[in-house]
Structure 1
Amino acid sequence: MLEADIVLGQVTGKDGPPVPIMAHPPATTSDITLADFMTAVAQYNNVNPKQKGVKLDFKSIEAFEKSQEIIARFSKPEVTFPMWLNADILPGPIKATTKPVDPDKFLELGSKHSRAVLSVGWTTAHTGNNAEGEYNRDQIGAMLRLLNNHRINQTVTFPLRAGLASNSQPVVLDLLRESKYLNSSMTVWASEEDPIEVERLRALILTVGLERTYLDVPRELAAKLKLPTPDVNAKH
């Protein structure tokens, strides 16, 4: 999977109204637009048997709204490479200064692209206290209610910050059990400096199951987890 952040901004050296570009806040300029990025991925996948999927991480609802036409081009049934639409749509553990992307608008627009996986998570902050933070029942309950209220019926994955998720096994298991009808999974992610209890994280992943877990962590942490090789024939 190729993960990329999308904001509204300008292409380097060009004038005109803001367009969806590949950049991470606070950057507002880039040498590549979302449209060019998606075209390049499609061209690669047209000539390579091993497909590259994309996880598009939207940093504002405005960027997502302006990207709808582009996303629609790659949501057609004849396009086969995986496409995830990601945003942090609810406030989560350890209060982040980042404002969540508007949850109702994100789900309303995301549900129009039924081929895409909706990757919906919570804002978090990076602090030395991450080792003690956790997701709670109110936070997962709010997410489940949102998905239900918007009648979401496409595949969903929940991005969970590794150090926090490993402290939250009971509620993570509840979240995945109550969303199983959406073919749900968790995407465990971590920043380089995050404090993580490796054995506790490993236990969570093995309890949830490799077939319902995606990893987006530094290579060193992935090696420490010593996870068994996933069964490529497992159904998901």
Structure 2
Amino acid sequence: MAGTEQGSWNENILDYFMNTKQIKTRDGAEILWYHAANSKLQMTEAIQSAAHMIEADVLLCGGDGSGEPIMAHPPETHSDNTLKEWINEVKTSNKGIKLDFKSLASVNPSMKLLGDVTLRKPVWINADILPGPNGSNCAVNAKGFLDMVTSFFPNVTLSLGWTTGWINQKCNRGYSSAMMQEMTDICRDLTQPVTFPVRAALVRQSISELQWLLQQSDRYTLTIWTGKCDEYSVEDLLFIRNCFDKTRIFYDILEPQKSEFRKAIGLEVPS
């Protein structure tokens, strides 16, 4: 049902976690993430962890467009966890959620499921809607995705990214001005908060482009994410942190950089 989402769905997650006394300062680096909490084991671990935000991937069972929404990341097309089961477990926790959609077909049935529950917590809805550096063209159709999500939840926080690739030991180009302009054109008429997930190993060579992007609206933020085999350093993360307002950049990163980065900026490392 359109407009049924709770106020916290478009609330800045720093405000939400400050108000619930889960973080101490309005600093995006304070937010801890659990990435790819897809299986029942990972989901349970995420709920019991120190994470504030749980990220998981949604597609249709079997991959042929006829099944129910499940929690899996391609090339996997099966899972021991459906979206319905996942939501029912996560809704009783104090965690926010980010759902990453891998296909347009999975969006409509998933929005219906979300509309059937009361989630008084941050909800981010994510898809890669444009090709980015070394990215494939298999992005989720931008207009179809945005029309479908906003028809159910006009105020939900959107996470809109680019498909990317990373080639080890090569000079990988960053995000271009043309990519920023294309994304801005898509987002121009949106009124809700938008975060742009950007790949850590590609950010340092894209600072001016991403700074320009954030200048286009105070509703925009960045979420730094990493691929398992990407080459990037804690020094890169510290450089990136110094280039942006700390309230407008989040870090969904992996170990060991996650702990090393938190130590370097004086934040507690969860055990």
Where 1:168 maps in the other structure, the secondary structure is helix
Name the structure 1 match of 2:161: 121
The root-mean-square deviation of aligned C-alpha atoms, in Å, is 1.9
Q: What SS does structure 2 have at the residue aligned with 1:57?
A: strand
Pick the aligned partner of 1:109 from 148, 166, 176.
148
Deviations 1:4-59 (A, max 9, x none): 1111015xxxxxx50100111122222221111111111x23xxxxx201110100
Could you say which residue in structure 2 is the equivalent of 1:2?
A: 54
The change in CA–CA distance for 1:64 and 1:129 in structure 2 (over 3 A counts) is farther
Corresponding residue for residue 81 of structure 2: 32
Preserved contact between residue 135 and residue 162 of structure 2 (Cα < 8 Å): no
Q: Verify: 1:191 aligned to 2:234, yes or no.
A: no
Q: TM-score, normalised by structure 1?
A: 0.82
Q: Is the 8 A contact 1:130 1:195 kept in 2?
A: no
Match of 1:67 in 2: 110
Alpha-carbon distance between aligned partners in 1 of 2:87 and 2:109, rounded to the nearest angstrom: 15
Matches within 5 A, 1:1-236: 1-9=53-61, 17-42=66-91, 44-45=92-93, 51-74=94-117, 79-96=119-136, 99-112=138-151, 113-128=153-168, 132-148=172-188, 151-180=189-218, 183-225=219-261, 226-229=264-267
Within 2, Cα distance between the matches of 1:102 and 1:130? Answer: 30
Deviations 1:152-173 (A, max 9, x none): 1111100000010111100010
Structure with higher RCO (Cα < 8 A, 6+ apart): 2
Match of 2:14 in 1: none
C-alpha separation between the residues in 1 aligned to 2:177 and 2:183? Answer: 10
Which has the higher mean CA deviation after the structures are superposed, 28-37 or 194-203?
194-203
Q: What is the rounded CA distance, in whole Å, between the counterparts of 1:115 and 1:107 in structure 2? A: 11
TM-score by length of 2: 0.72
Taking the aligned partners of 2:58 and 2:173, their CA distance within structure 1 comes to 28
Query: 1-side partners of 2:236 and 2:250: how far apart?
Result: 17
Residues 211, 244 of structure 2: 8 Å contact kept: yes
Q: Alignment partner of 1:170: what SS?
A: helix
Deviation at 1:68, TM superposition (A): 2.0
Pick which of 156-165 and 61-70 moved more: 61-70
Mapped to 1, the partners of 2:267 and 2:170 lie a distance apart of 28
C-alpha separation between the residues in 2 aligned to 1:179 and 1:193? 33
1:6 is aligned with what amino acid? Answer: V
C-alpha distance in 2, partners of 1:130/1:65?
Answer: 39
Name the count of aligned residue pairs.
Answer: 210
The answer (yes or no) to whether the contact 1:94–1:130 under 8 Å persists in 2 is: no
